Copies of this chain bind each other. A is one copy, B any other.
Amino acid sequence: MHVINCVVCKFKSDFLFLSTDAMSPKITVELLRQLRQAMKNSKYITEPIQAYIIPSGDAHQSEYIAPCDCRREFICGFNGSAGTAIVTEQHAALWTDGRYFLQASQQMDNNWTLMKMGLKETPSQEDWLVSILPENSKVGVDPWIIAADQWKSMSKALSSAGHSLVAVQDNLIDTIWEDRPAPPSTKLITLGLKYTGLTWQDKVTALRGKMAERKISWFVVTALDEIAWLFNLRGSDIEYNPVFFAYAIIGISNIKLFVDSKRLLDPAVQEHLELDSPSKPELTIQCFPYESVYTELQAVCAALAPKEKMWICDKASCALTQVIPKSHRSAIPYTPLCLAKAVKNPTEIQAMKMAHIKDAVALCELFAWLEKEIPKGMVTEISVADKAEELRSQQRDFVGLSFPTISSVGPNGAIIHYRPLPETNRTLSLNEVYLIDSGAQYLDGTTDVTRTVHFGTPTDYEKECFTYVLKGHIAVSAAVFPNGTKGHLLDSFARAALWDSGLDYLHGTGHGVGCFLNVHEGPCGISYKTFADEPLEAGMIVSDEPGYYEDGSFGIRIENVVLVIPAKTKYNYRNRGSLTFEPLTLVPIQLKMINTDLLTQKERDWVNDYHKTCRETIGAELERQGRKAALDWLIRETQPIV
């Protein structure tokens, strides 16, 4: 699954986009009237506010969000993944980026002004507010859904113009959203050592070691995937992401877990968390209702000794962050759990490998099926996506998809964040390039793979572009680099062949991938953008997915999930050690799309070695599962290039 500017492009909200009458604007006159009343209503606020900001996120700053958190969509109708709405007494405006200009303009009625981010003439939210607000205005925002670092910069800009940013405790959208869905509270899954390699007790102990190293006595955990990973629990509160709504506060001798108490009635969960019989006093979990995190954090802070320090991520909500007095607060750009989660242990690596083998089986089966079915003229983008899901669901420990499948034919492939809708759905044919970017959640791991194929005869130009993308893919996958190298230093390797011919792609090359967790995770990646980019380490897992997109014509992307492994080199400068990648994804790359004349001998060897591994590893599993057609397809598709 590809990434633009390190932010995913296909989103939970795109999924809703499919299921509603997407292209007629939402009528918002009445909603805006109600919201503006709420902005003056003393029931919610002590003094009227002149503007109200509605960000995209949830209280955990999740990338994917639950339906109950789609407040920005509710108020303006626009359901893209990125965007911030601001409503004043006179105006209503929405900021979004180039991917969504068309969609936003179609989904919003004329009460809304579209602010096209990235265009020179478009003011920033801060500048716009300053330009239209009367003197000494108050701008409100729900402190739970704005990150502390965003609050800080917005507050600073407003203050310096004589206004102020104020925290409105009641979310004003919720006060007018009559049929707002209830927050989800799905059943929790407990993961045993077989999948996790470490008990949650081991993880808490290791975390406390990191805290002790830095003289930190408490750590407020707010990211949902960090909590799921730490406690070896999974949920399904957010589609595609096996997480559940919770907070945790970890002390040197305390563990406070904040989660809907109904979920803890499950005996398996009780036993897993040792709620009745903790093995050690310092590993006793105190459970609290999800909502009480605020007051409990206040209580913890009130009891802090003068020099005690508390960690919280600077992307955590402003509400929780501000509970911690500044003198005790140590705001960090990413947490030790984020890093610990990113470096997979041997059990997780083995489990991820197994998940990728099963996933490859499903995809080989899919491609064999496609070859047979396409000539009949009935296979569409949507039906392939459905078929892929069906085949994956036949594999052991399948849980669900890891993101909405991108299934795109011809010109649709050039729309980087495309998802097939009934009104855009194209039929696969022998004449157009087909791109499928898909992945699944299994109990043992998360997958994400893109293949670009042609079922007839690709043009020379399509092959040429495909080959440049492949050269970039190989350049990253086969790169050898010193320990301590950050992913952004590898990004250009993926582009060099395209650049040489004057081509490029406008998204990053790779993102971290969770282990039966979010398909996008930090703190590492491969992108020309350098923020939140921690050095690559053996055990990290990232995607390698360069592409090329010819508007109105075709899209190409070749994506493997790859594992960072130690590399053997001829020399070893300053004993630093070297790293390289091992592909976990083992699905053949279509030879028909390659112009082999453009490959170097090293690149040809790479393709042949890769296909040999696919044939051996996936072939054995196909054989075991008795999937003959797919096995035949695999053997044919993995013939060596000569």
- Give A contacts to B, CB under 8 Å: 160, 326-327, 479-482, 486, 488-493, 495-496, 498-504, 528, 530, 569-574, 576, 578, 600
Inter-chain contact A496/B479, CB cutoff 8 Å: yes
With A and B bound together, what is the CA distance between A498 and B482 in angstroms? 10
- CB-defined contacts of A576 to chain B, threshold 8 Å: 504
Q: Which 8 A-B pairs have the closest CB atoms?
A: A502-B569, A502-B571, A501-B570, A489-B492, A503-B573, A502-B572, A481-B499, A480-B500
Contacts of A504 in B (CB 8 A): 482, 573-574, 576
Listed A/B pairs (19) with beta-carbon separation below 8 Å: A160-B327, A480-B499, A480-B500, A481-B492, A481-B499, A482-B499, A482-B502, A486-B528, A488-B530, A489-B491, A489-B528, A501-B570, A501-B571, A502-B569, A502-B572, A503-B573, A504-B574, A504-B576, A530-B530
A160 CA to B500 CA in the complex, in Å? 52
Kindly list 13 other residue pairs between chains A and B, CB separation below 8 angstroms, not including A479-B496, A488-B530, A489-B491: A480-B499, A481-B495, A481-B499, A482-B499, A492-B492, A493-B496, A498-B573, A499-B578, A501-B571, A502-B578, A504-B574, A504-B576, A600-B600
Expressed in whole angstroms, the Cα–Cα distance for A496 and B580 within the complex equals 12
Are the CB atoms of A479 and B493 closer together than 8 Å?
Answer: no
Measured CB to CB, the nearest residue on chain B to A490 is B492
Q: Of all chain B residues, which has the CB nearest A572? A: B502
Which chain B positions have C-beta within 8 A of A503? Answer: 571, 573
When distances are taken between beta carbons in the complex, the residues of chain B under 8 Å from A495 are 481
Distance in angstroms from A595 CB to nearest chain B CB is 13
Can you name the residue of chain B whose Cβ is closest to the Cβ of A161? Answer: B327
| Smallest CB separation, A333 vs chain B (Å) | 15
Rounded to whole Å, the gap between the CB of A485 and the closest CB of chain B is 8
Q: Indicate whether A573 sits within 8 Å of B482 (C-beta atoms), given known contacts A160-B327, A492-B490, A492-B493.
A: no
> A571 CA to B578 CA in the complex, in Å?
36
Q: Given A160-B326, A327-B160: A569 and B500 within 8 A (CB)?
A: yes
Contact A502 B326 (CB under 8 A): no
- Shortest distance from the beta carbon of A149 to any chain B beta carbon, whole Å: 16
User: CB-nearest residue of chain B relative to A579?
Assistant: B499
Bound Cα distance A569, B501 (Å): 5
Closest Cβ of chain B to A314, distance in Å, is 15
Q: Which residues of B contact A499 (CB under 8 A)?
A: 479-482, 578
Give chain B residues whose Cβ lies under 8 Å from the Cβ of A493.
492, 496
Shortest distance from the beta carbon of A419 to any chain B beta carbon, whole Å: 23
The answer for the CA separation of A490 and B495 in the assembled complex, in Å, is 11
Complex CA–CA separation, A491 to B327 (angstroms) = 40
When chains A and B are docked, how far (Å) is the Cα of A160 from the Cα of B501?
A: 54
User: Which partner residue on chain B sits nearest A503 by CB separation?
Assistant: B573
Alpha-carbon distance A578/B571, docked complex (angstroms): 36
Chain B residue numbers with a CB within 8 Å of A327 are 160
A498 CA to B574 CA in the complex, in Å? Answer: 13
| Cα–Cα distance between A10 and B389 once the two chains are bound (Å) | 62
Q: Most B CB atoms within 10 A — which of A160, A490, A493, A530?
A: A530
Interface centre among A479, A489, A491, A528 (most CB of B within 10 A): A489
